[in-house]
Chain A
Amino acid sequence: MKLKNPLEILELVPDPEIPVINIVELGIVREAKVTSENSCEVTITPTYSACPAMFTIEEDIIKIMKENGWDAKVVTKMFPIWTTDWLTDEAREKLRIYGISPPEKGADEHHIGKPKKCPRCGSMNSKQISRFGSTLCKASYQCLDCLEPFDYFKCH
């Protein structure tokens, strides 16, 4: 019986904190190497050094691969360093629809809290409430037009 392509299976694994986006389009999955008939070595890279979701992601990978007949081994590789520049345009749009303002391309070296686009009304008239948020990847903003608060996925 031919097993499903590992990368197709891994696209079904959502980010635990932002379930609308999967770990492949997030750039966490770097490689899925078939090592034997039903064994696969999946290489992942951490987003932030201390991201607690990485433990869940590793477990989810092993579980879903097993459910699809694959015996998976997960390897963490730091280099090349994860960057939000790897996020596809589709992934960024998914974030926006979910209510998170997607990261701007190219590193915001100074992180000085420039206004970001409101994911709801599209206005650039926003202010930074905090450089940090509920997870390591997010900052907190408020739109000054529609007045709704929103998370910004930080450029990294």
Chain B
Amino acid sequence: MNPLYNYLLKLADDSFIMGQRLSAWCGEGPYLEEDIALTNIALDELGQANNFYVYASRVADNGKSEDDLAFLRHEHEYVNAHWTELPNEDYAQTILKVYVFSVYQKLMYESLSNSADEELSAIAQKSLKEVRYHYTHAASWMKIFAQGTEESRGRLVKAVDNIWEYTKGLFAKVEGEDDLIALNVAPDVEALYENFVSVTTRDFQDFGLEYPANPFMQPKSRTGYHTEYFGFMLCELQYMQRAYPGCTW
């Protein structure tokens, strides 16, 4: 069991699955500029995933390439947070997903920039520049929806009610992560979660949204147990590589 390998897959899988979900908006955006925004964000995430998968492949040193790791693992081997695999549903839920994920990534990358692992620190510093943009974009839409029309507010409130219980799952640890925290390679997720709660509480006040009061949080994030949505999404994601093994451009 290699803690660094597990941790790299955690970071990679999050970005990869988030990118996969957002890519589905390509050509389907509500208008051109938002189509472009979401696909830019998706592409940023895929780039980050690539950096982590390449590093993971090197650490594993078992002949598996970054593509093998991304496309050919079984569903129980993916350790992305449940949050990332939830469906896009509508624009309100999609923006909520991007907003929450960007708060998480901003806090996480800020901390990871100080990692004792030089390569992780470099990837984090680079990724942080990109996710700041995602945050600004999503946060401004959260405010517009919350203070817009009855419909926009209604859809956003419904999304928050439906999926907020998956937010804490982003802060779940993978096997061996405690060792990395002790070595200052990975940030302390408990501290990250506290910051997440205070940032989102402050933001919700600014948006004019009621902060979710129900403390229930869905368990089993990052354990290999996935929501019912994951299987369908994985079929699409892995189709080409499984139908045409070894395919290249």
- Name A residues whose Cβ lies closer than 8 Å to a Cβ of B: 46, 48-51, 78-79, 81-82, 107, 109-112, 129-134, 136, 140, 154, 156
* A39 vs B37: C-alpha distance when bound (angstroms): 42
Determine the chain B residues whose CB is within 8 A of the CB of A133 once the complex forms. 36, 40
Determine the chain B residues whose CB is within 8 A of the CB of A107 once the complex forms. 129
Number of interface residues of B (CB under 8 A): 27
Closest 10 CB pairs of A and B: A50-B47, A49-B47, A130-B33, A132-B40, A78-B122, A79-B122, A132-B37, A50-B43, A111-B136, A132-B36
**B136 touching A110 by the CB < 8 A rule?**
yes
- By beta carbon, the residue of chain B nearest A47 is B126
B132 near A: Cβ within 8 Å? Answer: yes
**A78 touching B43 by the CB < 8 A rule?**
no
A38 to chain B, nearest CB (A): 29
- By beta carbon, the residue of chain B nearest A135 is B40
- By beta carbon, the residue of chain B nearest A129 is B33
Determine the chain A residues whose CB is within 8 A of the CB of B123 once the complex forms. 49, 78
B127 near A: Cβ within 8 Å? Answer: yes
B119 near A: Cβ within 8 Å? Answer: yes
Determine the chain A residues whose CB is within 8 A of the CB of B118 once the complex forms. 79
Determine the chain B residues whose CB is within 8 A of the CB of A134 once the complex forms. 36
**B129 touching A50 by the CB < 8 A rule?**
no
A-B CB contact pairs (8 Å), 10 listed:
A46-B47, A46-B126, A49-B51, A50-B43, A50-B48, A79-B122, A79-B125, A130-B36, A132-B33, A134-B36
Determine the chain B residues whose CB is within 8 A of the CB of A154 once the complex forms. 133
**A136 touching B40 by the CB < 8 A rule?**
yes
Contact A156 to B36, CB < 8 A, known contacts A78-B122, A131-B136:
no
* A49 vs B40: C-alpha distance when bound (angstroms): 11
**A81 touching B122 by the CB < 8 A rule?**
yes
Extra contacts, 20 of them, besides A129-B33, A136-B43, A156-B129 (Cβ < 8 A), are A46-B126, A49-B44, A49-B48, A49-B50, A49-B51, A50-B47, A51-B47, A78-B51, A79-B122, A79-B125, A81-B126, A109-B132, A131-B137, A132-B37, A132-B40, A132-B137, A133-B40, A136-B44, A140-B36, A154-B133
B46 near A: Cβ within 8 Å? Answer: yes
Determine the chain A residues whose CB is within 8 A of the CB of B43 once the complex forms. 50, 136
